[in-house]
Amino acid sequence: MLPTLLKRTMAAEVKRVPIPPRGVDYRGKVVLAPMVRSGELPSRLLALQYGADLVWGPETIDRAMIGTTRRFNQESKTIEWCRLSSQGQKQPRADAEESVIYRMLPEKETNKLVFQIGTSDPERAVQAARLVAADVAGIDVNAGCPKPFSTSGGMGAALLRTPDKLCAILEALVQNITPEFHIGISVKIRILETAAETEALVRRLCGTGITGLTVHCRTTPMRPRERAIRGQLRMIAEICHEYGVACLMNGDVESKDQGRKLAEEFGADGVMIATAAEKNPSCFRSEADGGMLHWRDVVEQYLKTCMGVDNRFGNTKYLLAQMVPGKEKVHQAVNQGRSYTDMCRDLGLDHLVQQAKEADAKRGLDRPREKASKKGKANASALAAGGQMGQAREKSQHRKTLSERTVNAQPPAEPEPASVAV
């Protein structure tokens, strides 16, 4: 039997913007939100395995993608978009390290992955989107990130204050990317201070030709610790339906079943899960499938997935620290671990130790480390943010929850660049 949400959105009387041949319809979907680090490849694969219908990659800045080279990694079977790290210089040095800005696993993510772009310029947006559009199921514009690294460049939530620019970006993508690559364009926003302001904005956005709109039910100044505000949600959903645009809701959704109930209550077509997914991606399992799994089961699967796709250890370590509850004794050991082998031993996963040793040898984690200079640390997230990030910010962000940040500041435990950058 189809869930009530899906049955309602399949009703014949519902107006719909035509979905392009390679695009996806967001109606009836429960999806992984675009979060820094939670949008890395292993996290997306785990979300899909546990029941997510679609996954958003982390916001990636247009300037970071422009100039990348697409390649297929035969060993990991991933598609990677790479570039040489300039480390703040105008041109990369001859001996510059290569940074992988974005990657995907086509075997699992084809027709499931939505690329979210950070942009403030229609021409750059099209140029960057064209590099990935043939491989993804949709392009989503971030118009909700409240952090200075995004808003100072006129991106993210700053676009909510410049609706002419935001509409121009969406129209450029609809007019150039959709006809060429046959995928839909969507946008993710936050609510404005008043319902009238939000209504006016949503009407303009829906008139650009987008196929989907996600509303994060918080205003720009609000932070994740503040409860989501859903008072405007029904109005937003009704406007979207008037234009035939799918409406997804985001904010304080804890599980697939809860998300479906909220969507039905407020008239939304689908839901995004963010913070709950970074803590335990099995939140995408419905109660009918057994519900959420114990964190130990999830952590084991996560480690196997990370080693299977050659995930950067710094990212793996950070996500493990989110997944292992702070009250557990092993949490401190996870924070102090310096290799995959350390993690498997500390977590009692002896059957994975040999695989971990091989992964460590491949990445050089089994060798003594030399202290790298600050200038020499390649940081793919700095590339994706369009500039260098201070060490003080990196240190402070390491203590914040994932969903509170919009910059992928990797811990300096490993010198290689991040596999997916924001």
| Coil/strand/helix, residue 197 | helix
Helix and strand numbers, DSSP H then E, in the chain: 18, 12
What are the φ and ψ backbone dihedral angles of 141, each rounded to 5 degrees?
-95, 130
The secondary structure of 8-75 as a DSSP string is HHT-TTS--PPPPTT----TT-EEE---TTTTSHHHHHHHHHHT-SEEEPPPEEHHHHTT-EEEEETT
Residue of 82, 145, 306, 344 with catalytic role = 145
Query: In terms of DSSP bridges, do strands 78-84 and 212-216 run parallel, antiparallel, or are they unpaired?
Result: unpaired
Strands (E), 251-314: 270-273
Concerning whether 306 is annotated as a catalytic residue, the answer is no
| Coil/strand/helix, residue 102 | strand
Q: How far is C-alpha 86 from the chain's CA centre?
A: 24
Q: How far apart are CA 23 and CA 413, in angstroms?
A: 39
Q: What is the dihedral of CA 61, 302, 398, 332, to 10 degrees?
A: 180
Residues recognised as catalytic: 145
